[in-house]
Structure 1
Amino acid sequence: MKIGRSEVQSWLDAVAPGTGLVRLAQLSDLPRLRVTQQVSRGSVAPSTITAIARGLDLDPLDELTRFREFASITTSAPAPSEMAAFIPTAGLLQGTVHRLDSETVDEAELGGESYDHLALNWFDCADDGNLRAHIQQQLGVAQPTLWKMLRSRLREDVALEIAQYASFPLVSALVVSGVLTGAEAGWDPECRSRWLNTVPLGQLLAESEKRLREVGKQVRSLETFENHLG
């Protein structure tokens, strides 16, 4: 999901008049080649926009919503039905153990909201069995391509389509795709631990069971691969 050159240039003229692309890359801690190529080709990634906004001490979401593709996105906490996806497996299991011991879990114990397999776990929260077919029909993304995205980086348009399908806040899609942090999306700093400490225990156990099954598949696949290598 790229943003065109004319829109980006108008934005840059407004927020950083007279600032060259090399300087913007330095301020944003981005590779110079990435910034210059994207802007010159008129195919700028949303993550480049938010990185430049941070470098200019501007609010990343506010700046992103200047562009028509993102104009309707507002800050929001995650929906309860997607919250588990934003907790790494170790944190989710640690929280479950705390609950079984009638203890509370602290936010600092949960790990970062962005981690390997975030996109896959988030997709699973949204999937009712028909989501893969829906993505292929609406966006023309073949299931093998989607499979690869869910294990690397989920494209913004695909993430937004998933959020719409599942009635998740649209801003969650931008966290999953790495465009925004949870704080930039408007999350309360304690929202994940509060969910862990208050969600019905049976539901929490079911979420932990699903996560353990997925981890088991990953471990078995890795072991099979290593055994094949000898």
Structure 2
Amino acid sequence: MPIPAKAFQRWLHGIAPHTSTSDICRVSGIKRTTLAQQLVRGKVAEATVVSISRAYNVNPVSALAAFDAYRQLADTHPPTRAELVSQISTADLLRAVLARSAADPGGAPAAAAAAAADAADAAAEPAGSPALEPAPHATSVKNWVEAIDDGELRHRVSAATGIAPQNYSAQLTANRLAPELAVATSLAAGVGPASGLVATGLVTEAEAGWPPGARQAALDSLSDGELTTLAGDRLQTLGRALRRQEHDHEKTEKIWENLG
């Protein structure tokens, strides 16, 4: 839910008093026209608050919690293991499978594959880069909701927010979720209210209060069976998505061919 312009201006005066709009936009990287349009409409985007907060060394989650629509963010909870694992990319899961296979003396083919993958990673990534890709990833939103869904989550979110279930599902399919829906989903599932904002990419893990290295620790805690099953499920989901894309592409090409 966008922030009311008057509440935003009061907040802005509190963190950057006597600072011109031009200077605020310059420091935060927001276009002046963008901020001006939001103020005229009377609704300021959450992303604007986040950008300005970072520019003035204010925690974005705490900044959003200052507004009535997001006051629940003041109540912080650590993420569950399922949430942490949901924010690990498929590529990182596969690398973990290969790494564990390489540790098995009997897994020579897997060891060779792991060595090749490590060599490719070393060539592609700068030295000192993190072991895991930063959240979010290509299916982070959908994976996060699936990780906390008890089977009735979508219905509770729909009842609490008024969003039609099909519209909610459409956002998940597109790997996006409006900030207010992300928070509502967290509350409906009984998890930390900022977790959904991490999955959507609005805030970082550190800004949401996730412990350093928490995702890696969650990954390491998976048994070989759990890891392999999860990676397999992700690959199946990816395969279905790719097949749909290929089918849509073929249909488009046939349409163009018929049009001459």
- 1:191-202 matched pairs, under 5 angstroms: 191-202=214-225
Aligned-residue sequence identity (percent) comes to 29
Are the counterparts in 1 of residues 140 and 200 from structure 2 also a CA contact under 8 Å? no
Amino acid at match of 1:143: P
For the pair shown, the structure with the greater C-alpha radius of gyration is 2
Gapped regions of structure 2 (runs ≥ 5):
105-117, 119-127, 254-260
Q: Does 1:224 align with 2:225?
A: no
Task: State whether structure 2 residue 145 is matched by structure 1 residue 123.
Answer: yes
Compute the RMSD of aligned alpha carbons.
Answer: 2.3
CA distance in 2, matches of 1:128, 1:100: 32
1:149-202 residue CA offsets vs partner (Å, 9 max, x unmatched): 221420112111221232221111121233211111122331111111122332
Does the Cα contact within 8 Å between 1:22 and 1:36 map onto a contact in 2? no
The equivalent residue for 2:94 is: 93
TM-score, scaled to structure 2: 0.79
Q: Partner of 2:110 in structure 1?
A: none
The one-letter code matched in structure 1 to 2:61 is L
Cα shift at 1:49: 0.7
CA drift at 1:70: 2.5
2:163 maps to which residue? 141
Which amino acid is 2:39 matched to?
V
Corresponding position: 1:205 with 2:228:
yes
**How far apart are 1:221 and its partner, in Å?**
0.7
Q: Does structure 1 retain, via aligned residues, the 8 Å contact 2:4–2:42?
A: yes
Match of 1:83 in 2: 84
After superposition, the C-alpha distances for 1:65-103 in whole angstroms (9 at most, x for unaligned) are 222233332455421121121111101221232234448
CA distance in 2, matches of 1:65, 1:143: 27
Q: How does 1:43-122 map to 2 (within 5 A)?
A: 43-73=43-73, 74-102=75-103, 108-122=130-144
Contact 2:136 2:200 in 1 (8 A): no
Letter matched to residue 60 of structure 1: P
Secondary structure at the counterpart of residue 22 of structure 1: helix
Give the Cα–Cα distance (whole angstroms) in 1 for the partners of residues 72 and 187 of structure 2.
12
Q: Aligned ranges for residues 118-197 of structure 1 at < 5 Å?
A: 118-150=140-172, 151-197=174-220
Cα 1:19/1:40, change in 2 over 3 Å: farther
- When structure 1 is superposed on structure 2, of 107-116 and 150-159 the one drifting more is 107-116
Q: For structure 1, which runs of at least 5 residues remain unmatched after alignment?
A: none
Which amino acid in structure 1 is aligned with residue 63 of structure 2?
E
Q: 2: distance between equivalents of 1:71 and 1:135?
A: 18
Query: Structure 1 141/227 Cα, relative in aligned 2: closer, same or farther at 3 Å?
Result: same
Is the partner of 1:119 in helix, strand or coil?
helix
- 1:178, 1:36 → 2: CA distance? 24
Q: Distance in 1 between matches of 2:10 and 2:133?
A: 38
TM-fit CA distance, 1:5: 1.8
Deviations 1:19-73 (A, max 9, x none): 2323222211122222122223221122211110111222222322222233332
TM-score when normalising by structure 1: 0.89
Q: Which residue number corresponds to residue 256 of structure 2?
A: none
